Structure 1
Amino acid sequence: MAVEERAERRVTRRRVRTRGNLLDAAFAVFAAKGFGRVSIEEVCVAAGYSRGAFYSNFDSLDELFFALYRQRADLIADQVAGALAQDGPDLDVPAAVDRVTEVLLLDLDWLLVKTDFLVHAARDERVAATLLEHRARLRAAIAQRLGRARGFGALPAVLGDVEGAAHAVVAAYDGVTTQLLLDKDVDGARAWLKQLLTALLADGSSSPSDPH
């Protein structure tokens, strides 16, 4: 391997590590103080880097937040897809709901950060548009899996189709996590989410083996 190539790989690894450390530090500071109450300088101090290191990775705190959001949106999408994939094409809705509610990310610090940023985005059309794009990715992942599963031809009429079902799943998650922010009852949140998702997805649906 050429000297130049080895040096480039070291720089790339160092950059990835720096970016990851900045994200971790920003998450901790955002959770403690609230998005909108934190400066770039505070993130740099928490991470142990200069402002130059920050700007070599991010243009703004908004961009840094979206990197955090993407991490967690991808994690949630992977969790949901993994839980739904275990049945193959014949989706057992109650069992799948059980698995989804067991693995879904219900992290109080993340919910605090996300809620702060939702308020910020609501006042900025550009930021709101980007946030909506990220949320759409999660809904698309859920809808794609539901669309591949047999037994979803009889979804409750109010949902319409798998896209409607995906919207309902995300809305249920949003509602339950809002309550969780106030009462801090993670077990209660999982139980309530399980009831909501079962009512949304199982009522009116039938499995391929259902004689009705």
Structure 2
Amino acid sequence: MPPTRRRVETLRRLHEAALAVFAAEGFGRASVEQVCERAGFTRGAFYSNFASLDELFLAMWADRSRALLDDLRRALEAADTAAVTTARDVVELVDAAVGVDDAWYRVTAEFTAHALRTPGLREVVAQREDAIAGTLTPVLVSFLRRVGREVPDPRALALALVAVHDGTTVQCLVEPDDPAARRRRLDLFEAVVLAYTTPGGDA
């Protein structure tokens, strides 16, 4: 049974409040009470939906991943095929759809550190990352084929791109007004795509 409109709204407000609190206070210092106060709910409303802040974050992550995939699909579907002819063109499209989000990066970086200290949670995070990569990669592979690039090992490409995204996001956030940081990010993405693909595809 799909969730009621009221529950959807409750979850939306909890997610928005949690992101704001986690980003401002730090995941490790945030409390259920702070999230509830920000959302305008009681603790009962929180615990009727989530068992812990960990569970709330994982739900936020799932929602954000779905939204990212939708944005990426829309960007690729709306792209002018005649204007997108190289791996660099694909990289720029994907980067524009994914973007660099200061608040989300701070929250995910802290949650990842928390997960690494919690064996059971670490396994859940690894499974979620695999699922996200498994969903996003076919979209990217399909578009790369349109510009004449085959992907022999999609998983290896996905992991390499995630590594570049995480590392260059820090640089872009530390130097937000430096266009060279953004250019280096795109250059690295392009280099990885070319390194993990071969000529071929539909072009």
**TM-score, shorter chain, exceeding 0.5:** yes
TM-score (norm 2): 0.82
The equivalent residue for 1:14 is 6
Query: Map of 1:52-91 to 2, 5 A cutoff?
Result: 52-84=44-76, 86=79, 87=81
Distance 2:178 2:94 in 1: 14
Number of residue equivalences:
195
- Aligned residue number for residue 124 of structure 2: 130
Q: Does 1:99 align with 2:96?
A: no
Q: Max radius of gyration: which structure?
A: 1
Note closer, same or farther for the CA distance 1:64–1:20 as it changes in structure 2 (3 Å cut): same
1:99-178 → structure 2 map (5 Å cutoff): 99-148=93-142, 149=145, 151-153=148-150, 161-178=153-170
Q: Which runs of 5+ in 1 are unaligned?
A: 1-8
CA distance in 2, matches of 1:34, 1:65: 13
Return 127-136 or 11-20, whichever deviates more.
Answer: 11-20
* Higher mean C-alpha displacement, 79-88 vs 100-109: 79-88
Unaligned runs of 5+ in 2: none
Question: Is 1:25 matched with 2:22?
Answer: no
Normalised to the residue count of structure 1, the TM-score between the two structures is 0.79
Work out which of the residue numbers 32, 49, 63 in structure 2 matches 1:40: 32
2:122 is matched by which residue type in structure 1?
Answer: A
Q: Mark the CA change 1:147 to 1:99 in structure 2 (over 3 Å): closer, same or farther.
A: closer
> Please, what is the CA RMSD of the aligned residues?
2.8
> 179, 183, 186: which one pairs with 2:171?
179
Contact 1:112–1:181 (CA under 8 A) maintained in structure 2: no
Cα distance in 2 for partners of 1:65, 1:208 equals 39
- 8 Å Cα contact 2:172-2:182 kept in structure 1: no
Q: CA offsets, 1:80-130, max 9 Å, x none?
A: 444455459x97422111111222131101111111101100100111111
Give aligned-pair identity as a percent: 36
